[in-house]
Amino acid sequence: MAAPTDTYDASAITALEGLEHVRKRPGMYIGSTGVGGLHHLVYEVVDNAIDEAMAGFCSRIDVTLLADGGCEVVDDGRGIPVDPMKDPKLKGMPAVQAVLSQLNTGGKFEGKGYKMSGGLHGVGVSVVNALSIRLECEVDRDGKRHYIEFEKGGKLKTKLKLLKDAPRGRTGTTIRFWPDPVVFTESTEFRAQTLLERFQMMAFLNKGVEIRFKDLRPGHEGEATSFRYTHGLVDFVKHINATKESLFSKVGHFEKAEDDQEVEIAFQWNTGYQTDGIHSFANGIATIDGGMHEEGFKKALTNVVNKYAKQWSLLKEKDGSLQGEDIREGLTCIISAKLREPQFEGQTKGKLGNVSMRSLVERATNDQLAAWFEENPTEARKVVNKAIQASRARMAARKARETIRRKSALEGAGMPDKLKDCSTRNPDEAELFIVEGDSAGGSATQARDPRTQAILPIRGKILNVERARLDQMLKNAEIQTLISAIGAGVGEEFDLAKVRYKKIIIMCDADVDGSHIRTLLLTFFFRQMKPLVEAEYIHIAQPPLYSTVVGREKIYLKDDAAKAVFLEEHPNHNKEFQRLKGLGEMDWDELGETTMQVARRTLLKVSVEQAAIADEVFSILMGEDVESRKKFIQNNAKDVRFLDI
């Protein structure tokens, strides 16, 4: 760290002009400069086209990954305005130039250009421009095609000019950009499957809008995909439940609009045991932390089901009232709210804060879900009966939980001496390594920093929680151990504030069994301790795959890419490379040096940006539908970068 100077005057103050601040602090605008931030550039441009669709002016969006690494997005909306700005600060500048090069500039602030939109901050496409080495924009309006071009960092290269007449009747915007490798040092290569998942979700949320995708990069042979859903949210629910056994075939649907806000809801129950199947959106943005629209729906859902059950004497006196978690077991529900001025809590727009939306959703659900139950009595009774079974299982699970609580983490886990805890009681610095097997657990215990690092070996493969109710799950010794060690409860009772470790690291072998154990653990965390994943407390250790010797020094290489770089830097290297398949193959000091020491290790952070997609993927990979799992693996095979055979 540089030593502070004694002088603090005007010379120490820097004013960043235009888009300079974006390049200085890109993470503030796109989250990161890794692959997540790279894809965010595409989303920003496509979101603008989606806003046009929400306003009723766009029916098709074409996204193309260009052969030279760029990305092109074409829409058939109104086209960004090209007339001179009236704003005194930008007077005379063409509006399209202002939108592309000035932060906080757009048609979404006063509701004049858009009644409802997702991108309310006005930073979207200007940020894309700032973080690109080049950006081109073509606008078709009033029968003419206009062109403007920017170079690295959003600097104007070609002033707005007329190219030619636009194709007859054609309006819309075309944007082409090339990400700057100076910013995106990890990679500027887009991942097709990541983009397709996002585009499919957008198409579900905007019924009738077609999103077409084409990949022109070498090796992809012009792969093309198109998404368009006539029934929108109903199709979304069917898609999520396609890998699950439905409780009944019908998908419920209703919508309600008042003043400047509206809500649309689609729902269906399956025979599964999960209670986290509600996925909510506000103006097309995934509200992964829920908010007022979810609160209104949950409250009204519980009220409607209990009222129906009592009206038709489906509940016995001993069952009492059904709780929300009982009713939501096996429910898949999409809530899409649209409103003029959404209030999002947090920079990530993860939670909707508009109280008026809670009232609207609650009224709509109380009225229209009750009517749906009356019109579909067979389905309604199945929902109630499933909820009653869930209630009884919950009571059994409560007894099991109480048994676990009465025992300490060491006494009640089923493996009395397994947890080797750390001495610190500060969760911010405490780490829990979940290690595959006693042998690796012993090495990890020797290699750890006992003050901050706890070791929990697990024996074999834990229960697949995708196929088990909570009461069955709590009988599993390994799961009991995890719950006790983490110390924050499980399921609906999970309390993130009580976690004993804010860094939970899964450390498994780099083979098929290790991958399976890792997936089972991730499924458990996603389904039963989801706030851990959302808070990004879950990490995956990255033990090296290779070792070799240079002189007298042993060198460790993370993967095949690292090995290739090493050989480029050491072309005359003639020593063998040892493939390290198991943690148990490394001495404890090697394990510590390569995988556990904070200064030298590499960790892969687990995050959930789109919960609906994650829900679907976990259902496919861990559910009963073998054919869907096979298809998923085939479709994603091209995107696998590290394969252990």
Residues with a known catalytic role: 436, 509, 511, 513
Decide: 231 and 83 in contact? Cβ < 8 Å: no
Query: Which residue, chain included where needed, has tokens 């898609």?
Result: 239
Give every CB contact of residue 166 below 8 A, 6+ residues apart in sequence.
Answer: 140, 141, 143, 144, 145
What three-state secondary structure class fits 448?
A: coil
Residue 31, Cα to own-chain centre: how many angstroms? Answer: 12
- What is the C-alpha separation between 60 and 49, in angstroms, rounded? 9
Decide: 470 and 273 in contact? Cβ < 8 Å: yes
- What is the C-alpha separation between 280 and 342, in angstroms, rounded? 14
| Helix, strand, coil abundance in the chain, percent, nearest 5 | 40, 20, 40
- What is the C-alpha separation between 277 and 268, in angstroms, rounded? 10
Q: Which helix (H) or strand (E) holds 538?
A: strand 538-541
Q: What is the dihedral of CA 269, 272, 273, 277, to 10 degrees?
A: -50
Q: Over the Cα atoms of the chain, what is R_g?
A: 27
Q: Which helix (H) or strand (E) holds 259?
A: none
Q: What is the dihedral of CA 15, 26, 127, 37, to 10 degrees?
A: 180
Decide: 465 and 455 in contact? Cβ < 8 Å: no
Give every CB contact of residue 397 below 8 A, 6+ residues apart in sequence.
Answer: 469, 470, 471, 473, 474, 491
